[in-house]
Structure 1
Amino acid sequence: MTESAGNKKEDCHAANGVKPGRNGMVKNHHHHHQYQKQEKVYHAACNGELYSRPFIESFEETPMLVAVLTYMGYGILTIFGYLRDFMREWKIEKCHIAREREEQKDFVPLYQDFENFYTRNLYMRIRDSWNRPICGVPGAKFDLVERSSKDYNWTFEYTGRVVKNVINLGSYNYLGFAENTGSCATAAGDVTVKFGVGVASTRQEMERGASSNSACSSQTGERGNLDRHEELEKLVASFLGVESAMAFAMGFATNSMNIPAIAGKGCLILSDELNHASLVLGARLSGSTIRVFKHNNMQSLEKLLRDAIVHGQPRTHRPWKKILILVEGIYSMEGSIIRLPEVIALKKKYKAYLYLDEAHSIGALGPSGRGVVEYFGLDPKDVDIMMGTFTKSFGASGGYIGGRKDLIDYLRTHSHSAIYATSMSPPVLEQIITSMKCIMGEDGMTIGRSRIQRLAANTVYFRRRLREMGFIIYGNNDSPVVPMMLYMPAKIGAFGREMLKRNIGVVVVGFPATPIIESRARFCISAAHSKEMLDRALDVISEVGDLLQLKYSRHKVLPSLDRPFDETTYEENEE
């Protein structure tokens, strides 16, 4: 079931984005055997020589009837929303929303009534599906605080009951390091006793290294730069295979506060249309010209690069000071993986710079967890700026930027996040250092590698089972982020509630976080999940899918015979 790149020349264009669906997604028109054949040779379609491993992604087109019914559902909700607003205006229905004072009616409005329409009349109907409080470690299972509402989700009351042992399919706990037992928790506890919880300073205000002999500094905790900060940065640089690295206390600020230090007026930023809000904010704050290319569409990116080189800046037509490409490793709403080999090829061809956000891919991809660069077998030096977070695979918080030493030295003196933000907490530092050493095998054990292999096996197994059941699944076969399409607005809340009734915690996502007809449930797979947990969750998903009629896929995949679960390794998945 394999073909050469030359024999698949015709499919190459559809696979690489010439015929995208909404948001640049590939429309998949093949039936059963054709669909399997297309996925199997997806990596060899176009620019196949750039890929050293299979690249299997699918974005099945929304069925026409489902799309029509989804639009009708939103239309009906909108009509009833305007009716309810009319009733609120005439005091027939109680109004819970913030409103303008009568004496300020001639002022510029503080609350935009139309902008809040969706929140008032659509979001409130299913608000109970979000922000549920938990009261335990967000590991493979967690305990959930039960709550209820007597005013249709405007306010909530706690019932006093705790829902025990809910299977967690919503947390970004890819390698299972979000735990309160084990080496990471022990190390973090010991450091908390020694250093305290906070540093109460920025890293540039006061420094204490391992050789410090200042009794006052060591006793009061008034230091912004600990020796552990520098140890972490050296460890991150070694892990990524770059010259230098810098750590930040907040992942969102790693993007939003560092991109303005890298690019500015007279620069051009080319951003994927599905980039995270932190990348978008950072690009806007930089003052650079921003142009957006279709998601993972190399033709769209190359056209923007070519136009930028040919035409230069608007009006003056001077060359751009620099061109910066912003992409992510794994896209957290689509489950897709960046076509990094092609992006790097275009970056080299047009002399641009590449900023890679590996928030979801670091630790979760690659034979040794080094992210999407290792996943494709590429050289880290080909990526100018490597960014990632410690909030997912490492079970901590914060972020990092890695690259050339002169880049990192520049950011230390120009990044707002480095100059003004409080430095990372000591127990968080220790959590990251311990988990990263575990992944790298520097603890003398193989636990880290076994977790990476378990995550890869769990991901392939979970995705395959969902496809066999008939659900529409988005993204790459190796992505631990698994979006399952729900489409209709009424099914967003219904799916989350029905799953929770059966002790499965899931994340549901709708407009405006997704396109209006592409609401979905998003599962996050973890190395902490056992096969029994996944099978239990899959049985419940299938049951609820039948109840809510969610099995929309027209590509029927025949069930395959399972091998013993523990024999599935990362290397075998690459074949």
Structure 2
Amino acid sequence: MAITIPYITALTTLFSYGLLFAFGQIRDLFRKFLEWSSSKNLQGYAPICLGLEDFYTRRLYLRIQDCFSRPIAGAPDAWIDVVERYSKDSNKTLIRTKRTSKCLNLGSYNYLGFAAADEYCTPRVIESLNKYSASTCSTRVDGGTTALHAELEELVARFVGKPAALVLGMGYVTNSAIIPVLIGKGGLIISDSLNHNSIVNGARGSGSSIRVFQHNTPSHLEEVLREAIAEGQPRSHRPWKKIIVVVEGIYSMEGELCKLPEIVAVCKKYKAYVYLDEAHSIGAVGKTGRGVCELLGVDTADIDIMMGTFTKSFGSCGGYIGASKELIRFLKYTCPAHLYATSMSPPAVQQIISALKVVLGEDGSSRGAQKLARIRENSNFFRSELQKMGFEVLGDNDSPVMPIMLYNPAKIPAFSRECLKQNVAVVTVAFPATPLLLARARICISASHTKEDLVKGLEVISKVGDLVGIKYFPAEPKKNQQEDRKKQD
């Protein structure tokens, strides 16, 4: 999805950043003169913090850091207790207080509502804690594989529709450690331009060649593939050992669904493997929660490597890889995150097993189906209402992730602080997580939100949107207003 920035908005955003940059450089110049005689650097050492990133952190990020990393005092349910903080030095350091504010939670990835206490999951997690303890204190290949780990891998493979699965202790590491094992020198990775940082780092660490295609554009992917196959490897022009195309199910900063059927068709045509990251889509979309393959009608047999995490829909931690038995066996022998990292905490594993059983209906109730229906209804309702109000909202229907574009740097703290004052906790995202001009607030909807919660959130966001000026489109007239006009005519 190409974001077209309104002309005036783009100009004012560029002017704001230019002004901040200019004044920051002037202040740094005076700072150098004042500290000339008492340099803090060790003799002969270069400054350890240097460059544009350090400048951005000091002059922009630190001034609004109260909008980020807000501590909470409880489970990330529909409502959370946000710890109040204050600063005595213009936000350079933040001091926590013992006071908390109860806020509507529109920022956590608690898509199915399993992050809080659950009538089916919680008792079983406590039981596993008593039986297995909080940690195995070992790697999977030593003494760190419990009966729960084996059960989870079988359950995940069945849920995602692959012959076998491997679970790892961290979602980020699942990408960054698995990709270098799958492909190396002589291979080619073709990555969506907006793929997550874990995919980017995994690709860079693999030593393979990397090409990027325009975000969610199958036609450009085909161009890149055709050109890469024709040219072959750099310098030698030999055929590539293997080609892997990496995409996401739902893009976390855009809330956009992958054009998976078209991408799979292109990969089949050119004999390229498909690596699908379903961190934000597994459990959150599809009639039975099985992700974008189910939602978009793609056969899981056409996806060579299915990756996902347990940190969003299942209220736990870790990640998984679903693939053929041959590939999973190979990964268990070679992946450093499996061989050298401590295995997942048994209670965390039990939480995932229990949540999956609820989703599958194996707990003996229909709560899983109800949660899936509710997350879809909540997401589509909230998105449509935001659009009617005049906000620029990214993403597709059914996606529980909906970014609201802010653009201007001054509107990032203004939106975040004003929402918090009215007891609504939102996440704002800026550079380097997004391009410099495309700052946004990212709303995440949960099945645990009631209709009253959503209406409350919409009312606050609408008021704050008017206050900070981020309604870039005209609002749709309400039905009652339209009917009154017809009567007047």
- TM above 0.5, one fold? yes
Provide the residue aligned with 1:390 in structure 2: 310
Q: Is the 8 A contact 2:404 2:440 kept in 1?
A: yes
- Answer yes or no: is 1:110 the counterpart of 2:58: no
Give the CA deviation at 1:107: 3.5
Provide the residue aligned with 2:386 in structure 1: 466
Q: Is the 8 A contact 2:160 2:290 kept in 1?
A: yes
- Answer yes or no: is 1:259 the counterpart of 2:259: no
Q: Is the 8 A contact 1:169 1:506 kept in 2?
A: yes
Give the CA deviation at 1:516: 1.6
Give matches, 1:50-61, under 5 Å.
Answer: 59=3, 61=4
Provide the residue aligned with 1:544 in structure 2: 464
DSSP 3-state at the match of 1:167 = strand
Q: Percent identity?
A: 52
Distance in 1, Cα, partners of 2:21 & 2:479? 44
- Answer yes or no: is 1:453 the counterpart of 2:373: yes
Give the CA deviation at 1:90: 3.2
Distance in 2, Cα, partners of 1:326 & 1:445? 37
DSSP 3-state at the match of 1:547 = helix
| Aligned counterpart in structure 1 of residue 216 of structure 2, from 276, 296, 313 | 296
- Answer yes or no: is 1:148 the counterpart of 2:86: yes
| Aligned counterpart in structure 2 of residue 174 of structure 1, from 111, 119, 126 | 111
Q: Is the 8 A contact 2:41 2:47 kept in 1?
A: no
Using the TM superposition, name which of 301-310 and 348-357 deviates more: 301-310
Provide the residue aligned with 1:29 in structure 2: none
- Answer yes or no: is 1:368 the counterpart of 2:288: yes
Q: Is the 8 A contact 2:120 2:363 kept in 1?
A: no
Distance in 2, Cα, partners of 1:466 & 1:436? 31
- Using the size of structure 1 for normalisation, the TM-score is 0.81
Provide the residue aligned with 2:486 in structure 1: none
- Look up the equivalent residue of 2:104 and give its one-letter code: I
Give the CA deviation at 1:103: 4.6
Provide the residue aligned with 1:66 in structure 2: 9
Provide the residue aligned with 1:232 in structure 2: 152
Distance in 1, Cα, partners of 2:401 & 2:62? 26
Q: Is the 8 A contact 2:77 2:110 kept in 1?
A: yes
Q: Is the 8 A contact 1:256 1:281 kept in 2?
A: yes
Give the CA deviation at 1:113: 4.3
Give matches, 1:545-564, under 5 Å.
Answer: 545-553=465-473, 557=476, 559=478
Q: Is the 8 A contact 2:361 2:369 kept in 1?
A: yes
Distance in 1, Cα, partners of 2:112 & 2:18? 42
Give the CA deviation at 1:521: 0.4
Give the CA deviation at 1:549: 1.2
Provide the residue aligned with 1:353 in structure 2: 273
- Look up the equivalent residue of 1:551 and give its one-letter code: K
Structure 1, unpaired ranges of 5+: 1-24, 27-58, 93-98, 206-222, 562-575
Q: Is the 8 A contact 1:271 1:291 kept in 2?
A: yes
Provide the residue aligned with 2:32 in structure 1: 89
DSSP 3-state at the match of 1:116 = helix
Number of aligned residues: 479
Q: Is the 8 A contact 1:100 1:110 kept in 2?
A: no
- Look up the equivalent residue of 1:231 and give its one-letter code: E
Q: Is the 8 A contact 1:100 1:109 kept in 2?
A: no
CA RMSD of aligned residues (A): 1.6
Give the CA deviation at 1:101: 3.5
Distance in 2, Cα, partners of 1:557 & 1:319? 55
Provide the residue aligned with 2:66 in structure 1: 128
DSSP 3-state at the match of 1:363 = coil
Provide the residue aligned with 2:433 in structure 1: 513
Q: Deviations over 1:533-572 (max 9, x none)?
A: 0000000000001111110125x545569xxxxxxxxxxx
Distance in 2, Cα, partners of 1:127 & 1:514? 16
Q: Is the 8 A contact 1:381 1:403 kept in 2?
A: no
Structure 2, unpaired ranges of 5+: 481-489
Give matches, 1:175-194, under 5 Å.
Answer: 175-194=112-131
Give the CA deviation at 1:102: 4.6
Give the CA deviation at 1:315: 1.4
Distance in 2, Cα, partners of 1:110 & 1:116? 10
Q: Is the 8 A contact 2:63 2:92 kept in 1?
A: no
